[in-house]
Structure 1
């Protein structure tokens, strides 16, 4: 919604004004932890919202359903078809407060509770706790400022609303979190990866989402070493596979052996979810 509002404002500004100003509000917003998982033994959690800026800020807190795409992007559930969205956890979640004002360097605890669905069986539900910084009351033009450029001209100010979302996952029953690695390829140097990169697909093999770290090792035997690490990579139930591009920390010779490991950081932290080997040549 916010993106569409901003886009509409920009389009209007291009066609109807001679002068404009823009600003971004809330870039100093931070949230911890980065995700929350509820199960039969854990029904409540605390989420901390931090104002790391130098000025007071007001934030709204809401639940927004989102969906993952094959490239890892998270989009609004309303932007995709219903079959491409995991069941929503929003109706099972209560949280407070829903609006906070924080002074510089101040934090606020958001209390989150879930009630178990009455469906039975094994299911996974998800929604996203979304915290959005509101613009300060003095961020806009006054009427006099808006008409200042000329009698027939109007100025607008476009304020981008900054938000941060974290997934809230509710699991019922046994967790079936399995994965595989497919389609490993080497990529040449590209923007953001001057030493090249490793491209691969993480394949979700179980009913539940998977979440963990992708480790890439180069070499064989005692010479094998870690050359890149991508933390916090999830594959949600609405997709079967996700493409991951892991930039290399160092340039590697052609034909070097690679070993890719996907380690769990969710249901069984540290356990290996999947391994793939590209032999040397």
Structure 2
């Protein structure tokens, strides 16, 4: 029955400020703990025309290879049934900003665990001359960010399962494929970095993925790291992989892995 609720996949890349399709969103994720009951998200219309957005909750399932699959209704680990949004629709002039308020109303005897829903900004079509003439434009863009609440939260326990050097099927350049697991039932968040020891004997960063979360519903996540432009792998030595926490996990070392380079 759960599988029937799965609809379609969406993939998102997050930065410190999410900027896409004329909408700036900050922060790009919200994380509550047991002591926090409210948070704010700021959006800015960076286009040159008025924009209207509907602000709603969306339920998404994280996928092992990255991205999300959308669910048609909340599940037991959804945050939306205990969260309130204000306002639920916004109309922004060019350059105008708006604050969205999120309030948590935790039910009594809430079970230990992590609860997550995604805050969705759905663009509504603008009325223009074409629409008034009877021509309708039906393409509606939407952007979402994860909102997480942890009840009796614990530090995530992350483990590196495997890592290997693979070849990109298109450009034939090497990539680093890493398989990770989280065993505590609470999502991690941080950056996965790859280092080599260069000819000068110093550690050099050659690849990194920021804003990386491992969610409880994913038994094993597969992450691909592209080498930075101009970086190459040495003929021998090791690649040192480090997964380090960010935001509420700043200063936490989730784990490391040493990958031998073999040609």
**TM bucket by the smaller chain?**
0.7 to 0.9
**Which residue of 2 is the match for residue 175 of structure 1?**
154
Report deviation, 1:43.
1.0
**Which residue of 1 is the match for residue 226 of structure 2?**
247
More strand by share: 2
CA RMSD of aligned residues (A): 2.5
Report deviation, 1:194.
6.9
8 Å Cα contact 2:125-2:137 kept in structure 1: no
Does residue 1:135 correspond to 2:154, yes or no?
Answer: no
Instruction: Say which SS state the counterpart of residue 66 (structure 2) adopts.
Output: coil
Does residue 1:34 correspond to 2:12, yes or no?
Answer: no
Q: What is the CA deviation profile of residues 183-234 of structure 1, one whole-angstrom value per residue up to 9, with x for unaligned ones?
A: 211122454x774211111211211111110010112793321111110011
Aligned equivalents of 1:203 and 1:107: distance in 2?
39
8 Å Cα contact 1:127-1:168 kept in structure 2: yes
8 Å Cα contact 2:131-2:137 kept in structure 1: no
**Which residue of 1 is the match for residue 186 of structure 2?**
208
Aligned equivalents of 1:86 and 1:225: distance in 2?
44
Change (3 A) 1:211 1:264: same
8 Å Cα contact 1:29-1:133 kept in structure 2: no
Aligned equivalents of 2:32 and 2:205: distance in 1?
33
Whose relative contact order is higher, 1 or 2, with alpha carbons under 8 Å and at least 6 apart? 1
Write out aligned runs for 1:130-279 (5 A).
130-138=120-128, 140-141=130-131, 158-191=137-170, 195-219=173-197, 222-249=201-228, 250-279=231-260
More helix by share: 1
Aligned equivalents of 2:137 and 2:223: distance in 1?
34
**Which residue of 2 is the match for residue 14 of structure 1?**
none
8 Å Cα contact 1:93-1:112 kept in structure 2: yes
Aligned equivalents of 1:47 and 1:171: distance in 2?
19
Change (3 A) 1:139 1:178: farther
Find 1:90's aligned residue among 76, 80, 85.
80
Aligned equivalents of 2:153 and 2:39: distance in 1?
21
Instruction: Say which SS state the counterpart of residue 138 (structure 2) adopts.
Output: strand
Find 1:46's aligned residue among 35, 40, 44.
40
* TM-score, structure 1 as length reference: 0.78
Aligned equivalents of 1:51 and 1:210: distance in 2?
31
Q: Which consecutive residues of structure 2, in runs of 5 or more, have no partner in the other structure? A: 1-6, 9-19
- Mean Cα deviation higher: 248-257 or 213-222: 213-222
- Mean Cα deviation higher: 232-241 or 117-126: 117-126
Change (3 A) 1:254 1:86: farther
Q: Which consecutive residues of structure 1, in runs of 5 or more, have no partner in the other structure? A: 5-25, 147-156
* TM-score, structure 2 as length reference: 0.83
